[in-house]
Amino acid sequence: MPLQCNIDAKGKAVRLIWGTLLLIGGVVLLVLWPIRHGGGAVPWIVSVAVILGGAFAIFESRAGWCVIRAMGFKTPI
């Protein structure tokens, strides 16, 4: 089933900016938190989750598709 475009240009721009910030933040977290301090699985899981969230937001931006809108919820942007 192909993804139907369900966001406009403003929504795409917001998701691209948000995704880029999350991706950069996730990389910074990855460098500063688990690699420097070691310490268990939680820092790794949080860092990877932030990176994956950013990558997914960028995917939504490029595809013009929002998972929340696809589930029937109305988003303000």
**What is the pLDDT at residue 1?**
67
d(CA 45, CA 25): 14
d(CA 59, CA 11): 13
Higher pLDDT, 1 or 48: 48
Residues 14-66 pLDDT 10s: 999 999 999 999 999 988 887 777 768 888 899 999 999 999 999 999 999 99
Domain positions in the chain are 9-69
Confidence category of residue 75, pLDDT binned at 50, 70, 90: confident
d(CA 8, CA 67): 14
